[in-house]
Amino acid sequence: MNSSDLSIEVNIVVPFHDVDAMKVVWHGNYFRYFEVAREALLGKFGYGYRAMEASGYAWPVVDTRVKYRQAVSFEQAIRVRATIVEYENRLRIDYVIFDEAGRRTTTGYTIQVAVAIASREMCFVSPPVLLEKLGVTL
């Protein structure tokens, strides 16, 4: 499996409510763009949030990072790429936001871990359902 199999891209036009008084995207809203791409990516594998819950696992974000390279502004069209880069012990998804010219404006990642809903215990290895959904054999 190559990285493009574990990737997805979504297009977003920055809405007015996402910008600050200087008409640039408020820094916290980049995580919302990551979330839109993450939901699309997990949905691609049939393992969105409802499927996660149905499988008996929650996947809280336990670590995240964002690096702002260039400001994004109101009504700007952006493309958000989300790529799964780790899945054996945790789910790490890397993100890149591109402007219309294809330049990187923002990069970041999120790390999620599986938590068994019934016991509320964190799993130190990703449950088999994730690997099955990703079509991965270890």
Q: Is residue 43 part of a domain?
A: yes
pLDDT of residue 4: 63
In whole angstroms, give the CA distance from residue 110 to residue 103: 21
Q: Is residue 2 part of a domain?
A: no
Per-position pLDDT tens, the chain of length 138: 555 699 999 999 999 999 999 999 999 999 999 999 999 999 999 999 999 999 999 999 999 999 999 999 999 999 999 999 999 999 999 999 999 999 999 999 999 999 999 999 999 999 999 999 999 876
Per DSSP, the three-state class of 100 is: coil
Number of domains the chain contains:
1
pLDDT of residue 138: 63
Tell which residue, 93, 92, 90, has the closest CA to residue 82: 93
CATH of the domain at 117: 3.10.129.10
Q: Is residue 1 part of a domain?
A: no
pLDDT of residue 136: 85
In whole angstroms, give the CA distance from residue 10 to residue 63: 22
**How many other CB atoms are found less than 10 A from the CB of residue 95?**
24
Q: Is residue 15 part of a domain?
A: yes
Q: For the whole model, what pTM was predicted?
A: 0.93
Q: Domain range for residue 110? A: 7-134
